[in-house]
Structure 1
Amino acid sequence: MDAELIAMQLFSGIALGAILIMVALGLSIIFGMLGVVNFAHGALFMVGAYAGLWVASRTGSFWWGLLVAPIAIGLFGILIERVLIRPLYGRSVDDPLLLTFGLGYVLVEAVRIVFGSDGIPFQTPPELSGVADLGIGFFPVYRLFVVGVVAIVLVLLWLGLEKTKFGLIVRAGAKDPQIMRVLGVDIAKVWLLVFGLGVGLTALGGVLAAPMRNVNPEMGALVLAEAFVVTVIGGMGSLLGAVVAGLLVGVAISMTALVAPEMATIVMFALMAAVLLVRPQGLFGKKSRA
């Protein structure tokens, strides 16, 4: 096992971690602001992949799929919040959890009816095919592109939350929505936009992941488990935690696959258990959220 192989596997782990970050960010934003544990998140990841595939097949352009699908699924998320989630605010935390759990199954079955149960390949765009020489070895150009897109999204999200008035309202509303209402802020509209943003992020993750795996109705199930592991390790509601834990889990899975492939899936749960034993609230979470 030479240094080049280890370095390539490390980069593969970062690319996997980038996808997990996109999904976990959506989970963390929705939970941090609305307090809703969205069990339909994996299904929405899958729907995003199918939406990107459909748009790309109709337009002949991967780029249109990458642009349109997250926006369209984000708007669908807004509809979900307005019609299904909003009537459950103020009730038991189990109610939206069970609703989104059922919604996930509905979305999977709806996709099966429309597209069938077989996987559909999503071709990598020609301009992003091939490999790049990183000096320590060759690495797929598309995976480098995925890492770059996620990095740009993280910067834009940070700027939006830290440097804008809307970001200030979101951060304040996550801490004390009642005070925001007293100050005249329509917190319901903020929740609506935040839920749509969280869903749009996971849909973007679905489109980015599609060329690296077959698009199929079950593709969201494992991603949902991985995203929850990332969210729990990083801390429920913590965006920084989602980023750090996403990279940590991605690299752990990738490096474990190099030496013990049969343990690659198990290692993330072992990592989660180790973190929870030391910090039950996660690396960057708050005890009140745990």
Structure 2
Amino acid sequence: MLIFGIPLQLLSTQILLGLINGAFYAILSLGLAIIFGLLNIVNFAHGAFYMMGAFGALLLLDHFAINYWVALIVMPLAIGLMGCIVERLILRRLYELDHMYGMILTYGMGLVIVGLFRNQYGATGLPYALPAALQGGVNLGFMFLPISRAFVLVASVAVCLATWLMIEKTRLGSWLRAATEKPALTEAFGINVPMLITLTYGFGVALAAFAGVLAAPIQSVNPMMGADLIIVVFAVVVIGGMGSISGAILTGFMLGLIEGLTKVFWPQASTTVIFVIMAVILLLRPAGLFGKQA
């Protein structure tokens, strides 16, 4: 069966791959949006934390026989704790300075982390054994859906939805939004704003680590995996609107799907289509699709 001259099986496969890429875009851009929304810092180390999540899962499996399912919980907690320490010891000193200092610091921190891992493990990708529960797939008739890919989609949607509900529908979320807009007034009500900021940064990088663990079984684990992805994720955040939670989620999945379809109809443009969209959006709506206009 052909659709616009394209075999249905090929079209369906590319849509699936686009949604999988979109799942990673959504989780990573969600973490970036949360951090920028409260700390007003563009976290250029986000890709490094994503890579550390994948490497952490691999090291847990190889050296301690800790399986994938435990790593999905342990690594985000560990990387999130590391993020809290980084915020308390380093980033907190920069809040009174120009925003450029935070960008330069996180960019340098990301380079150092990637360099350390590359020096230790080299640039060649390392395999992560696919868990038994994720092996095989389901024949949908028009395509074969690997269970591992389906799990990535389901887990990403669940985490993004849970994060959105927490921020938009809970008391903790209302505190976070209040601390973003009126920190002095929020602190006057007895809310520990500095602790909220620390936990927010930790949660944002924990999302990156969770995405890294998700990626470990379906792509090679290597020190550059975050650097290759984070450029696109920053474009996703800009298109959705800096600091917009719903914008980060929806734009991540939408652009992943557009990228997948572009590989079918115009393969040469698949690596640049997101950046072209970003340029157009910035010209028409500088705050992004879901961002607040100044």
TM-score range (shorter-chain normalised) is over 0.9
Q: In the alignment, which residue of structure 2 is the partner of 1:250? A: 256
The aligned runs of 1:43-192 (5 Å cut-off) are: 43-57=48-62, 58-192=64-198
What TM-score do you get using the length of structure 2 for normalisation? 0.94
Is there any run of 5+ residues in structure 2 with no aligned partner, and where?
1-5
For the residue of structure 1 that corresponds to 2:98, the secondary structure is: coil
Q: In the alignment, which residue of structure 1 is the partner of 2:214? A: 208
Task: Give how far 1:60 is off.
Answer: 4.7
- The answer on 1:19 being equivalent to 2:24 is yes
Q: In the alignment, which residue of structure 2 is the partner of 1:6? A: 11
Task: Give how far 1:187 is off.
Answer: 0.6
Deviations 1:153-185 (A, max 9, x none): 122212322332211101111222122122222
Inter-partner Cα distance in structure 2 for 1:39 and 1:162: 26
1:55–1:69 contact (8 Å) kept in structure 2:
no
Inter-partner Cα distance in structure 2 for 1:264 and 1:272: 14
2:287–2:293 contact (8 Å) kept in structure 1:
yes
2:164–2:246 contact (8 Å) kept in structure 1:
no
Question: Aligned partner of 1:136: which letter?
Answer: F
Give 1:39's match in structure 2, choosing from 37, 44, 56: 44
Deviations 1:64-98 (A, max 9, x none): 22221111111111111111100111111011111
Inter-partner Cα distance in structure 2 for 1:204 and 1:247: 17
Inter-partner Cα distance in structure 1 for 2:126 and 2:266: 29
Is there any run of 5+ residues in structure 1 with no aligned partner, and where?
none
Identity of matched residues, %: 40
For the residue of structure 2 that corresponds to 1:132, the secondary structure is: strand
Inter-partner Cα distance in structure 2 for 1:18 and 1:197: 18
Instruction: State the superposition RMSD in angstroms.
Output: 1.4
2:30–2:160 contact (8 Å) kept in structure 1:
no
Task: Give how far 1:196 is off.
Answer: 0.3
What TM-score do you get using the length of structure 1 for normalisation? 0.95
Inter-partner Cα distance in structure 2 for 1:55 and 1:258: 38
1:54–1:65 contact (8 Å) kept in structure 2:
no
1:49–1:210 contact (8 Å) kept in structure 2:
yes
Question: Aligned partner of 1:189: which letter?
Answer: M
Q: In the alignment, which residue of structure 2 is the partner of 1:284? A: 290
Task: Report how many residues are paired.
Answer: 288
Question: Aligned partner of 1:172: which letter?
Answer: A
Q: In the alignment, which residue of structure 1 is the partner of 2:3? A: none
Task: Give how far 1:259 is off.
Answer: 3.1
Inter-partner Cα distance in structure 2 for 1:68 and 1:237: 27
2:26–2:160 contact (8 Å) kept in structure 1:
no
Q: Residues 251 and 114 from structure 1, CA distance in 2 versus in 1: closer, same or farther, beyond 3 angstroms?
A: same
Task: Give how far 1:135 is off.
Answer: 4.3
Inter-partner Cα distance in structure 2 for 1:118 and 1:128: 24
Inter-partner Cα distance in structure 2 for 1:234 and 1:38: 16
For the residue of structure 2 that corresponds to 1:212, the secondary structure is: coil
2:44–2:110 contact (8 Å) kept in structure 1:
yes
